[in-house]
A and B are shown apart, each in its own frame.
Chain A
């Protein structure tokens, strides 16, 4: 069983999708229930990973599976090569954890083409899990592209008024990025074959890590990967698809998009872009860190002025993911583990925020801040949960957000990115401004709008959706070591690997720059 755990987990939703496709179209509740059960079972399949102590000590890939897949003559080979380590572990679990919550949130929100929606959601889960566990770059690319399609339809069919524009924008942004990445992937493969890596290895990342790619080529390849991932993260200035996509997407789509899909970008940097091209990473770190810091401040400032709650949350994502990337580029243990943790935190907090926006949207069919005000009185449970999540998003100590942000900033401060950290720290002020201002305008004050008089507080289903998220808000806030201890070995290994290559490159550069001296000494 544990031999094939990853495959079972990844493809179980796909099996579920097929089952769903055979269900009668009118059986709305049945379709939803089956989907929910499938995602819950998937979660339970993945659960042993969380309790496996091997991650505490080993940086290596675990649960690996390998099978030859597509080979074309003796020049193309890709393999089904999967595994999980401390870096992907929590993202995999985040995915299986968020999916049932997202499905449960559709109970009333999705009322047309339910079958198609659920099938797409399950397909999406397979694609996301597949992307996280892929150790073959081409396999990763297949899953990466596979994610695009269900999301595109989710926005385009079940979205709001402006859904066509938003979905096309989403598709074009990501497609442009992934095409560049595809070219780069093929080039890396071509290069590896040229320098004599046996082609049977396929696109194995582990082998690509050892390649000695010359500086100039590295820069171009890195840029292609970096650009593609930057769109997904999204980093400033290629973030503008996100607010539109989020605003138009149905709640479940937004939750999945924010909680997991965006993490593909950050994960891509950690797993591929940085370790494959360490020297190029070093070259471009100041530039990319600048974009991170701009993103943090810019996202916050724009979020502050939004009139639509969902757009506000979307822009806050730009700011939060700026923090994540800053931690990653710090390339030390604190920064990187802070960044990894913040990916999970963002999944929980922002996922929860989108659910919250969904709750009020379902009740009032509007998300404009001016339409609300004073609804805390009508919805006290909702108000409390909303407040806790808001505080987690602000990064109040004791909640998850703080631990992530703190480590990222400590890490960035200890690296060469010191001044970036100083500027980024102002982000904590802005976060308080935009979140609390929004909370104040939506929840407190006098209840002026008569349409809000009849608002009902959260029902049992909605509370059940939020409780697991609240649990992790405090768990990670108070005892994040549960998560650190299992990701740190892999992260340490990654840092050593990247730093070693960067140092070698620097030494080579020094030697190359000093030939005259050697001649004189002779």
Chain B
């Protein structure tokens, strides 16, 4: 039935290898390289679509395929195995679908870059890793993808190898991700060992875990620690507090990379992972609460930083961190479906926003380059009034802004609203998480419209010599924008809630994955609220009102009275500096982690290794040397000296013998 499942991840790997080995010397042609890469991903997409429809009509919803054994050592049996179920199906569609569009876009965006083949090779490698992550049937194959996407992120953030900042950002991303991976590994060890030694189930297979996970006991210490460890992994990969700091820096990479990896797919891996292990997470209310609170904190914290950034990609980056926070809020209150739903809609509108910003940057860059200017092509203060020059980019960007802000009828309205409803009404919900989420929604609307206005409205702030060279991007760039823009509008209709007359297709589709744990562990909307339509409508109206409030404030400040922001900055200079500098979190981490570790490393080397250990070693050597230097004087070579020594020795021996 699903015999070619393994081909889905392998196709992009083939693309990667072909372009990586042959791209530079043999293929050379940009179009051919781009076509190979795009087709590799697109073929995976087609196969995913085929299997998706096959699954729709299939009464059995979980399918596994084992290709061959990976590690077989005693009780530890790990296969190269794949899994296909509704959750994987959705992830596959998102990854390969959005992935294909971004590959297509990159053909235009990367045009003329000397590392063209390298770029597409890495990008394909990324898709391969991401597909391994979402199709793996056990935690280790997932981990292959998990670290693999981290690697590709490293390679692609540092793609412009001349830029030191890019190299630093790449390394930071990898290392911070590794801190998360440390958590992931510990979770694996503890889970594997506890299940095996105490319950006789030696497995890391997700299907088995879902079946046998309950033996760990609801609310047990072990399951709490295990899930917290996994959650640490998720905070690294999905840029949540405290490990979010790498994502904004990751914007050093080419924009298509930001769209694909740092918005649509890789950063959602943590959300997917919690979804995949929902049985375990559901068993630990403590972990769930932690997830929800961390998500909420991240959502509002990142949104606050988004207020004061001038780099268009940085705004989007913080927005991504914030939106990921929403997804974790959802997972934390047990709204697994809503979390995955938001993951999907976010992939559409955020990819569209990033690609839109890329289109702007691309065009700005060319214009500035043409006019021989060194102005920053990503700084929104150099933009303004671009809507007439780049109408398609503008419309798609604006539509996505409306979507992310939660304007009714667009995709994120449905997903975000469902999350907020669950944070309030779920058996695992907390009113304060809802409150934070609602406020953050208003903030999101504000800074996204700030971004929209600064870029596309108002005065043209681009240097006069360059601004006439700004024009709309070619079709290869705008087609993906239009498709994603469309999806950002309609993508939400697969999850229209019952209260609005919908039938929430995605909820039913994912039921086989999440329904089980939710039922056993009583996760759902509280009985009292289940039929309280007034409350549900009320909250919905409130969140719509908050969204419009955010948009209205942004319109006043950045459209009607553009002098206002400067005034605010002057009124609260300290506060502005604090936000502008991202609350100095990077500096804090440097001071309390990075620098002490380096200092300790230097101490170990110069202080301990060289002084103490080698000091002792060389000291002993010297001592031996000194002793022998002293003893050397006895070796006179004169016969009578030796004879004297012998006689003295004999006298002593005799004396000892006699006097004993």
Closest Cβ of chain B: how far from A367's Cβ, in Å?
Answer: 16
List 17 extra interface pairs beyond A301-B600, A305-B605, A396-B151, CB under 8 A.
A169-B617, A298-B604, A301-B604, A301-B605, A304-B598, A334-B75, A374-B162, A407-B73, A413-B189, A414-B197, A421-B189, A432-B175, A440-B168, A440-B170, A480-B70, A481-B71, A485-B72
Closest Cβ of chain A: how far from B68's Cβ, in Å?
Answer: 7
- Determine whether the beta carbon of B161 is less than 8 Å from that of A425: no
With A240-B613, A333-B74, A484-B72 known as contacts, the answer to whether A396 contacts B601 (CB < 8 A) is no
Binding site for B on A (CB under 8 A): 169, 172-173, 237, 240, 243, 298, 301-302, 304-306, 332-334, 337-338, 374, 376-377, 380, 384, 391, 396-398, 402-403, 406-407, 409-410, 413-414, 421-422, 425-426, 428-429, 432-433, 436-437, 440, 443-446, 478-481, 484-485, 488, 492
Closest to B160 in A: A444
**A410 touches which one: B143, B154, B192, B597 (CB < 8 A)?**
B192
Q: Does B182 contact A (CB under 8 A)?
A: yes
B190: chain A residues at CB < 8 Å are 413
With A374-B161, A410-B192, A436-B174 known as contacts, the answer to whether A425 contacts B598 (CB < 8 A) is no
Complex: A433 Cα to B177 Cα, angstroms? 11
With A428-B185, A436-B175 known as contacts, the answer to whether A445 contacts B167 (CB < 8 A) is yes
**A409 touches which one: B80, B143, B175, B185 (CB < 8 A)?**
B185
Q: Mark B583-617, 1 if CB is under 8 A from A, else 0.
A: 00000000000000110111011001100011001
Q: Does B140 contact A (CB under 8 A)?
A: yes
- Determine whether the beta carbon of A481 is less than 8 Å from that of B182: no
**B185 touches which one: A403, A425, A432 (CB < 8 A)?**
A425
**A440 touches which one: B167, B182, B597 (CB < 8 A)?**
B167
Complex: A95 Cα to B524 Cα, angstroms? 61
Complex: A384 Cα to B69 Cα, angstroms? 28
- Determine whether the beta carbon of B161 is less than 8 Å from that of A407: no
B192: chain A residues at CB < 8 Å are 410, 413
**A337 touches which one: B69, B73, B140, B609 (CB < 8 A)?**
B73
Closest Cβ of chain A: how far from B275's Cβ, in Å?
Answer: 21
- Determine whether the beta carbon of B617 is less than 8 Å from that of A240: yes
Binding site for A on B (CB under 8 A): 20, 24, 68-76, 80, 140, 143-144, 146-148, 151, 154, 158, 161-164, 167-168, 170-171, 174-175, 178-179, 181-182, 185-186, 189-190, 192-193, 196-197, 597-598, 600-602, 604-605, 608-609, 613-614, 617, 621
A305: chain B residues at CB < 8 Å are 598, 601-602, 604-605
With A397-B143, A414-B197 known as contacts, the answer to whether A478 contacts B617 (CB < 8 A) is no
Complex: A304 Cα to B600 Cα, angstroms? 10
Closest to B80 in A: A478
- Determine whether the beta carbon of B181 is less than 8 Å from that of A302: no
Closest Cβ of chain B: how far from A442's Cβ, in Å?
Answer: 11
Closest Cβ of chain B: how far from A493's Cβ, in Å?
Answer: 13
Total inter-chain residue pairs, C-beta < 8 Å: 135
Closest to B599 in A: A305
- Determine whether the beta carbon of A481 is less than 8 Å from that of B72: yes
**B174 touches which one: A425, A432, A444 (CB < 8 A)?**
A432
Complex: A380 Cα to B118 Cα, angstroms? 11
Closest Cβ of chain B: how far from A181's Cβ, in Å?
Answer: 19
Closest to A335 in B: B73
A380: chain B residues at CB < 8 Å are 24
| A-B residue pairs in contact (CB < 8 Å), sample of 30 | A169-B617, A240-B617, A302-B609, A305-B601, A333-B73, A333-B74, A334-B73, A334-B75, A374-B162, A377-B161, A397-B140, A406-B140, A410-B193, A413-B190, A413-B192, A413-B193, A422-B186, A425-B186, A428-B182, A432-B175, A432-B178, A440-B158, A440-B167, A440-B171, A444-B161, A446-B164, A479-B70, A481-B69, A484-B73, A485-B72
With A304-B598, A479-B70, A484-B72 known as contacts, the answer to whether A429 contacts B193 (CB < 8 A) is no
Complex: A437 Cα to B168 Cα, angstroms? 9
A333: chain B residues at CB < 8 Å are 73-75
- Determine whether the beta carbon of B151 is less than 8 Å from that of A426: no
- Determine whether the beta carbon of B189 is less than 8 Å from that of A302: no
- Determine whether the beta carbon of A428 is less than 8 Å from that of B181: yes
Complex: A457 Cα to B609 Cα, angstroms? 36
Closest Cβ of chain A: how far from B136's Cβ, in Å?
Answer: 11
B144: chain A residues at CB < 8 Å are 397-398
- Determine whether the beta carbon of B73 is less than 8 Å from that of A302: no
B147: chain A residues at CB < 8 Å are 396-397, 402
Complex: A407 Cα to B143 Cα, angstroms? 14
B74: chain A residues at CB < 8 Å are 332-334, 488, 492
Closest to A414 in B: B193
A428: chain B residues at CB < 8 Å are 178, 181-182, 185
Complex: A200 Cα to B68 Cα, angstroms? 49
- Determine whether the beta carbon of B76 is less than 8 Å from that of A437: no
Closest to A168 in B: B621
- Determine whether the beta carbon of A302 is less than 8 Å from that of B72: no
- Determine whether the beta carbon of B605 is less than 8 Å from that of A433: no
- Determine whether the beta carbon of B175 is less than 8 Å from that of A429: yes
- Determine whether the beta carbon of A446 is less than 8 Å from that of B151: no
- Determine whether the beta carbon of B151 is less than 8 Å from that of A445: no
